[in-house]
Structure 1
Amino acid sequence: MSEPTATQLKDEGNELFRKQDYVGALAKYTEAIALDDKSAVLYANRAACNHGLNRNLDAVDDAKMATVIDPGYAKGWSRLAASRDALADWERSAEAWQKALDALPKTNLSPAEQRQKDQYSAGLDAAQARGKVPRDPHFIRFKAGDGNLPWQIATGMLPELRQAGPEKYSSSAWVISHAYEDFTKGVGFMNELKSVPHSQAPGGIAYGGSLMALTYLTNGLTRDERAFCFNQPDWITKNHTDQGSVTFEATARRAWHSDGPETIKELAQKRLKEKGWNDVRPALSVTVRAWIMRSMLESHLKEGPAVGLQFLTRAVDLLEWGRNVWKNVANEDRGKIFQDTFLRSVRSMHLKMFMDAYVTDPGLNSKFPLEHLKEEAEDLLKEIDIASKSPSKEEVDPGFVSSFCIYPAGIAHSMIGFYHAQTARYSDDLFACIGFANGAKDYMQAAKTYSEDDEYRAFYLCCAMDCMRNAGVSIRDFNKVAIELRGAVPKMMKIWAVSALQQGGRDDKIQANLRIADDLMKLVAEGKLTMEDPVPL
């Protein structure tokens, strides 16, 4: 039997696409591209699949390739524009919509071409209108001079904690102080980047500085992303522009600055054969770490978690692929980004950003399915369980195990709790009660996983109480958690009195649940309720 041609594979892909089987269609178009990589139509079709799967960074890559192959292909430009729209990249979206319009005939349009023109014109108008709306950065502002930020307090506690020895190694002070130390080192290296006139350099300007900024910035974030902060108005310029440290390191390390994961996988293996690990290792490291930084910038400063999530998805994809392909390669060759601890932390960040993205588009038909969140969290817990049975003998600093082993488990449990609580909201009474009960169980497990002085212990106890109120549990069980919460709050406040979570309403949420517990106990004391009665809604 003869092998299918690119045209046959394209036709099969088209049929699957019409059935909205985007995964199957994408596989067919990929096979076809392997046979014919000069077809703009194939790349544009695969871009449509990626767009349908909400993988818009990959859709942009494919659509750009379609327009490179055929600059006059209107549908290629429209696919690029639609993908830019999904990334809220309004300026470049408008440019692509205009290119799509320019590629259509000027006169004597067929009915299909007229429909295209109407669609592209509407897309252009919408992108231009949205581009004029001021952006509201998604970040919390702190007054660093007060000395009451978590990392400032934690750093001051370290001498006492060191003196106390191993019994205090579980304190969240170790986690946030080491995370912030690494992050600020990265900021320092970033600030060392200098530009000097150079006649032979592009634009007449050459850049020089440290190649360690990305390493330390992302080391801090993987330890605890709550360390992400800055007080420089030109932070984005120094980090993520053509003159920034990311571009500087990507150029110096020959990283893949604008390619998608599938392209990188192919190119990395090819370069490995030609250049060896000393060339490929730093290139992969910068590529992945740049995606991590971009995810944080997009989520907190620019377009929001839906865009940031796609960069973390790329990072997880490439890391898991590399660990599998090079599973027998020594860590010192393939690099630290492929170690268990690094991947575990990136997967934790991915889970949290997936949840944040879901919040922007909640419901049973969300672009960010809750089932996927639950499956990823359960898979991470299995991985952590396997790792715990064969712990590393490597000497680590206090807080390392919390950052890379214990806290990821807490994050996973909290995501499963979130899954149950959210799905319960869309369930009938009986299944809703079961869902809220399961949510309370996992939130309790998450709380107990964190250090006793971490804000997340108190916060997830509070989330468990929210679920318990909806699950019809007894006042006795509800009050037991309230007692735990009362004990956790003073310990939390020693370090975490000020935080992004606190500014987002953490303390109001805690006090509301404690007041409910007080009111219930008052009613019990008055004989109006018993401890076995369910918590009234």
Structure 2
Amino acid sequence: MPQDKEKAESLKALANELYSKKDFKGAYQKYTEAIKADGTNAIYYANRAAASLGMQQFMNACTDADKAIELDPKYAKAHARYAAGHAGLGRFETAAKSWRRALALLPQVDSQLSPTERKLKEQFEAELSKAETNAKAPLKDAIGLGQDEVSKTPWHRAIAEEQNLRAEENANSSGWLMIHAYREFSEGVDAMKSLKVVKKDGRQGMFGRLDCIVNISNGLMREPRVFHINSPDWFEKLNNQIMFEVGRSGGWSNVGPKVIMEDAPKRLRKGGWESVRPAISTTVRAWIVSGCLSSRMSNQSGPAYEFFSRAIELLEWGRIMWKDVSTEERGVVFERSFIRGIKRMKLESMIAILVSKENCSFTKKKVADEALHIIEDAEANPPQGTLDPGFVLSFWVYPRAEAMAAIGWYHIQSGFASTTAETAKTAFSEAHKFYLRASQALPPDEENTFQYLYVALEALWFAGESLQKQLPLLSDLDTTGQKIMRFWAMSSASERTHGHMAMTTAYRNQVMSGLSSGKYELSNVVKPINVKSVDKFPNSATIYVKL
């Protein structure tokens, strides 16, 4: 294809102007047009990578930066953008290597550095230091289980109760969620451990099963809380397994969805669905597993958000592109329930980013909007056919309930951001409503049922509601607290749960005693003393109770 270099330079100038105004989407489009006019210029790809970084689309940034390096291996900015992309994906060791390469391509004598190069060197060194620090950072939630701890986990408690659950004929139990999630996850881990890495004559080969990533991703999508590690080389084995399965399936590595959207239709024409189906499935599932590990193991939720977002982007494109193709042909990854499962995890990562105040490209309102879409999707597309109870819980009940809680969280934040007592009360009242709905949507023996009830009660305190409105919640908390002990007495969140149980029990006892003695009336606004420090608009009539 002939190159139009003059047109490409003109488009690059327009793109640069848009980029300087932080219109990263517009800049991306213009750089794309420049690449179409001249696909041989490394600068265009590196600049488009910068636009992707501006939109926090790290996979696409890595893809373009890699192409820029291919065209010009000595282009320092291309290596820097490749490094930034991998840092955004939580791959800090890869990022550090690329920052070092970028630094090595600058003049090594300070006196030979131009002002621009000196500024780049300072930036590269700062980012290298950050990447090295993050690469050495301790893992956040590495749930390693000793033999004596295994029987205490929610999934093993549920398995021990499986026959009782069947006898009860109760599909609405969190026990089913954990049983099915754990079995798929553990089957995948067992498959992962069977992988053999063989080195011969300086070459490395791998031999193993091809159902590991399917099962691990299925287990984590059913319920991320089943994640745990049970061997010191767990992560090394997982990385090897992902490389093995992506390679054997013809999947895509180190590229974003835009490359796959271009390549998959071409592959389909050549090799049919037998070629494309496993490639897309394995690639997307590897992203899901990587996203889950990022969210549960590191102190940054940004990589998880990126993996989940790009998986959703690719699958929603595929649903439209191949809307007339059967599930059997194109694969289950394009099913609404599968995509909904990823959206559930993405929603959790969005809230985590906002809570941690990480740099992000979305607002709290965006969380509420995405949560509403999950609710509407789950309600408009109810489960069909014969499905195990755990599957219905994982892909309909829990996404819907957690989305309701996310909207409640948004209203809590809005309440604290309010500038008047009236708007704050309205926001906290809405938060109470959505958290209460979330608790009612979950199984009664689920630990988050208790947690959502607790936050619903907090919302009543923040809203300044009377004891008359609080008492039903206090009663529900007491009942639910007993039910969740069946499976969740020793969960990773049990310390928080037990603390809330103790506090609400003490508060309820004081309230009931006060009502009985005539000290309080149902119309009184009563709150625990610890709420006083965060009361947005305190009222002189409020009674604070010491516990």
Structure 2 unaligned spans of 5+: 533-547
In the TM superposition, residue 143 of structure 1 has moved relative to its aligned partner by 4.5
Q: What's the counterpart of residue 204 of structure 1? A: 203
In the TM superposition, residue 508 of structure 1 has moved relative to its aligned partner by 0.9
In the TM superposition, residue 84 of structure 1 has moved relative to its aligned partner by 4.1
Instruction: Supply the AA of the counterpart residue of 1:319.
Output: L
Q: What's the counterpart of residue 374 of structure 2? A: 380
In the TM superposition, residue 5 of structure 1 has moved relative to its aligned partner by 3.1
Does residue 1:416 correspond to 2:439, yes or no?
no
CA–CA distance in structure 1, aligned partners of residues 396 and 341 of structure 2 = 8
Does residue 1:259 correspond to 2:255, yes or no?
yes
Q: What's the counterpart of residue 139 of structure 2? A: 136
Q: What's the counterpart of residue 226 of structure 1? A: 225
In the TM superposition, residue 249 of structure 1 has moved relative to its aligned partner by 0.9
In the TM superposition, residue 83 of structure 1 has moved relative to its aligned partner by 3.6
CA–CA distance in structure 2, aligned partners of residues 159 and 458 of structure 1 = 25
1:35 to 31, 34, 37: 37
1:87-123 deviations in whole A, cap 9, x for unaligned? 5544433333333333334554433333333333444
Q: What's the counterpart of residue 498 of structure 1? A: 490
Instruction: Assess, with a 3 A threshold, how the Cα gap between structure 1 residues 209 and 494 changes in structure 2: closer, same or farther.
Output: same
CA–CA distance in structure 2, aligned partners of residues 35 and 515 of structure 1 = 71
Does residue 1:216 correspond to 2:207, yes or no?
no
In the TM superposition, residue 246 of structure 1 has moved relative to its aligned partner by 1.2
CA–CA distance in structure 2, aligned partners of residues 70 and 281 of structure 1 = 34
Instruction: Supply the AA of the counterpart residue of 1:288.
Output: V
In the TM superposition, residue 30 of structure 1 has moved relative to its aligned partner by 2.3
In the TM superposition, residue 195 of structure 1 has moved relative to its aligned partner by 3.0
CA–CA distance in structure 2, aligned partners of residues 295 and 87 of structure 1 = 9
Q: What's the counterpart of residue 174 of structure 1? A: 176
Does residue 1:355 correspond to 2:354, yes or no?
no
Instruction: Assess, with a 3 A threshold, how the Cα gap between structure 1 residues 210 and 98 changes in structure 2: closer, same or farther.
Output: closer
Q: What's the counterpart of residue 115 of structure 2? A: 111
Instruction: Assess, with a 3 A threshold, how the Cα gap between structure 1 residues 517 and 8 changes in structure 2: closer, same or farther.
Output: farther
1:70 to 66, 69, 72: 72
In the TM superposition, residue 532 of structure 1 has moved relative to its aligned partner by 1.8
More displaced 10-residue stretch of structure 1: 507-516 or 279-288: 507-516
CA–CA distance in structure 1, aligned partners of residues 89 and 282 of structure 2 = 23
2:277 to 274, 281, 284: 281
Equivalent residues in 2 for 1:409-448, closer than 5 Å = 409-430=400-421, 431-448=423-440
CA–CA distance in structure 2, aligned partners of residues 327 and 36 of structure 1 = 34
CA–CA distance in structure 2, aligned partners of residues 229 and 41 of structure 1 = 43
Report % sequence identity.
34
Does residue 1:399 correspond to 2:390, yes or no?
yes
1:337-392 deviations in whole A, cap 9, x for unaligned? 11122111111111112222222217xx855521221111111111112103xx42
CA–CA distance in structure 1, aligned partners of residues 433 and 168 of structure 2 = 33
Q: What's the counterpart of residue 154 of structure 1? A: 158
Is the 8 Å Cα contact of residues 361 and 368 (structure 1) preserved in structure 2?
no
1:202-245 deviations in whole A, cap 9, x for unaligned? x43322121111111111112111121221111111111xxx21
CA–CA distance in structure 2, aligned partners of residues 21 and 344 of structure 1 = 30
CA–CA distance in structure 2, aligned partners of residues 345 and 162 of structure 1 = 26
Instruction: Assess, with a 3 A threshold, how the Cα gap between structure 1 residues 132 and 399 changes in structure 2: closer, same or farther.
Output: closer
Instruction: Supply the AA of the counterpart residue of 2:98.
Output: A
Instruction: Supply the AA of the counterpart residue of 2:222.
Output: R
Is the 8 Å Cα contact of residues 358 and 367 (structure 1) preserved in structure 2?
no
1:533 to 524, 529, 535: 524
In the TM superposition, residue 85 of structure 1 has moved relative to its aligned partner by 4.3
Q: Given the two structures, how large is their TM-score scaled by the length of structure 1? A: 0.91
Instruction: Supply the AA of the counterpart residue of 1:22.
Output: F
CA–CA distance in structure 2, aligned partners of residues 404 and 55 of structure 1 = 26
Instruction: Supply the AA of the counterpart residue of 1:277.
Output: W
CA–CA distance in structure 2, aligned partners of residues 292 and 366 of structure 1 = 20
CA–CA distance in structure 2, aligned partners of residues 511 and 123 of structure 1 = 45
Instruction: Assess, with a 3 A threshold, how the Cα gap between structure 1 residues 171 and 395 changes in structure 2: closer, same or farther.
Output: same
In the TM superposition, residue 331 of structure 1 has moved relative to its aligned partner by 0.3
Instruction: Supply the AA of the counterpart residue of 1:383.
Output: D
CA–CA distance in structure 1, aligned partners of residues 315 and 381 of structure 2 = 17
1:173-209 deviations in whole A, cap 9, x for unaligned? 111101111111111111121234555xxx4332212
In the TM superposition, residue 137 of structure 1 has moved relative to its aligned partner by 3.4
CA–CA distance in structure 1, aligned partners of residues 129 and 387 of structure 2 = 56
Q: What's the counterpart of residue 304 of structure 2? A: 308
Secondary structure of residue in 2 paired with 1:425: helix
Does residue 1:518 correspond to 2:518, yes or no?
no
Secondary structure of residue in 2 paired with 1:500: coil
Structure 1 unaligned spans of 5+: none
Q: What's the counterpart of residue 341 of structure 2? A: 345
Instruction: Assess, with a 3 A threshold, how the Cα gap between structure 1 residues 420 and 140 changes in structure 2: closer, same or farther.
Output: farther
Instruction: Assess, with a 3 A threshold, how the Cα gap between structure 1 residues 511 and 268 changes in structure 2: closer, same or farther.
Output: same
CA–CA distance in structure 2, aligned partners of residues 410 and 396 of structure 1 = 19
1:507 to 481, 498, 503: 498
Instruction: Assess, with a 3 A threshold, how the Cα gap between structure 1 residues 324 and 427 changes in structure 2: closer, same or farther.
Output: same
More displaced 10-residue stretch of structure 1: 216-225 or 71-80: 71-80
Instruction: Assess, with a 3 A threshold, how the Cα gap between structure 1 residues 238 and 88 changes in structure 2: closer, same or farther.
Output: closer
Q: Given the two structures, how large is their TM-score scaled by the length of structure 2? A: 0.89
More displaced 10-residue stretch of structure 1: 263-272 or 520-529: 520-529
More displaced 10-residue stretch of structure 1: 150-159 or 171-180: 150-159
Secondary structure of residue in 2 paired with 1:399: helix
Instruction: Supply the AA of the counterpart residue of 1:384.
Output: A
Is the 8 Å Cα contact of residues 186 and 216 (structure 1) preserved in structure 2?
yes
Instruction: Supply the AA of the counterpart residue of 2:282.
Output: V
CA–CA distance in structure 1, aligned partners of residues 148 and 39 of structure 2 = 57
Instruction: Supply the AA of the counterpart residue of 1:395.
Output: T
Is the 8 Å Cα contact of residues 424 and 432 (structure 1) preserved in structure 2?
yes
Secondary structure of residue in 1 paired with 2:493: helix
Secondary structure of residue in 2 paired with 1:531: coil
CA–CA distance in structure 1, aligned partners of residues 388 and 113 of structure 2 = 69
Instruction: Assess, with a 3 A threshold, how the Cα gap between structure 1 residues 466 and 327 changes in structure 2: closer, same or farther.
Output: same
Instruction: Assess, with a 3 A threshold, how the Cα gap between structure 1 residues 196 and 84 changes in structure 2: closer, same or farther.
Output: closer
Secondary structure of residue in 2 paired with 1:207: strand
Is the 8 Å Cα contact of residues 41 and 71 (structure 2) preserved in structure 1?
yes
CA–CA distance in structure 1, aligned partners of residues 203 and 78 of structure 2 = 35
Is the 8 Å Cα contact of residues 88 and 303 (structure 1) preserved in structure 2?
no
In the TM superposition, residue 473 of structure 1 has moved relative to its aligned partner by 1.4
